[in-house]
Structure 1
Amino acid sequence: MPLTKPPPLFILVIGLGVFLYHGCTTTPRPIDRSHGYPIGFVERGMASWYGPGFHGNKTANGERYDMHKLTAAHRTLPLGSLAVVHSLTSGRHITVRINDRGPFAKGRILDLSLAGAQALGMVGNGTDQVELRVVGYNSRPEGMGELRVQVGSFADLQNARVLFAQIQRDFSDGRIVQVDLPEGRRYRVQIGRFATEQQAQMAAVGLDQKYSVQSFVVRDDG
């Protein structure tokens, strides 16, 4: 029996099905480092949490830190980003709003509130391997802020000045930022104003090699 030609409607349905299938299996768009973070940005790494010592302190976006709300600190994600955080240990996941800057420790990508840490079951351990995925972004009139490289943080101002003087040989655009933390006052040495994270990361690698430091990229919202 000869094959009959499928009707146009049949072809349309099959084509639509193929389109939807491929659309559901595409990977998230990579970060657009010139314009910010698109929805779908994914990052994996170590998360920590911060609680009672910071409760009530002003966060980077100007509001008071409430350890009982689902918020988090990230060094470069635009403030106002919404991210789903998935624990690679427990399998639990939560949605948090980025309203602060941190963690200021090498090798960590996220500082969760106490509520977030409790929801993921990581309070006892203090840290956890997580995957975060940006699912929304509420832009601010102030914009996203400038990218800098933090080279060091010191309790002694003189030590910060010594490192700052050395770094200035390579970067004239730098500063020492004073911050008051629950554990005491700190002086952070930061350099540069970078247009993209790629440029900032390259500068950080060079500084680490030349000065034996552990620098990382931060976003300046002030």
Structure 2
Amino acid sequence: MAFVVTTLAGCASAPDRSSSSRYTITQDRAPSVDMDVSGLEDARPRYERPKTAGNKSPYTVWGETYRVLKSNDGYVARGTASWYGEKFHGHQTSNGEVFDMYKMSAAHKTLRLPAFARVTNLDNGRSVIVRVNDRGPFHSDRLIDLSYAAAKKLGYQSRGTARVEVAAITVRPDGQMFLAGKPFTPGQSDTALADRQEPAKPVAAGSGQEALFVQLASFSSRAPAEALLSKLQGLVSQPLRVRSVDTGAGRFHRVQVGPFSSEADARATQASLEARGYAQSILLTDVR
């Protein structure tokens, strides 16, 4: 498979521009034999020494440039998850490992590899923990690609996509763990956190009506959110805001542009911001 950058050797959505692909399957698909994931354990977060494999930054795919995060600490975002399976099974991921669609893994455009993340299906409240070892998905409306097994545990493998929240789990050398910047203990993901992933509650009450927004980042403290908001002044003509919300993982401050009256307008603004270096934005529905 001919990739735009060689470090993206196994990503789920990287383009195949060669006449003869190393993949024997043209279209991705689920395994031919159904699998029971009821007993499949989540990935187990652990400390791993920083590596260079898969972390080239910036890198370009399909004319879009992406910048890998210097640190995954505090990362949390909402967007659309897709999945990848048999086509890529057994081939190298971006950091040189081998993709196994039966394991709890994922691909992400900007998280520093390898990474661990809790992914919550916002439609049914299910959560899983995955190990992120690949790059992708390279579509502006997608946030993360999960392995087929992880997607099935979240209950969206038959639909193909789902609305999710992705929260990075970071581990220090002494074993301390943090979920989106907050202290975390594995095992909370199925109880204290997952069943509280309801639509975010606004700190300040608004109209209660939902609309489209472009979200550029989410922080566990307000100061960096306000700093980013200041940088954005003058770059867009639409309103800007920092929306503070309470979630099961704590309070977060989300930097957003909008509301937009149409998806086309929102995506035009998102493309404009990405061209200015804000490549981590997501399109979402939120309370006005």
* TM-score, with length taken from structure 2: 0.37
Bigger CA radius of gyration: 1
* TM-score, with length taken from structure 1: 0.47
More helix by share: 1
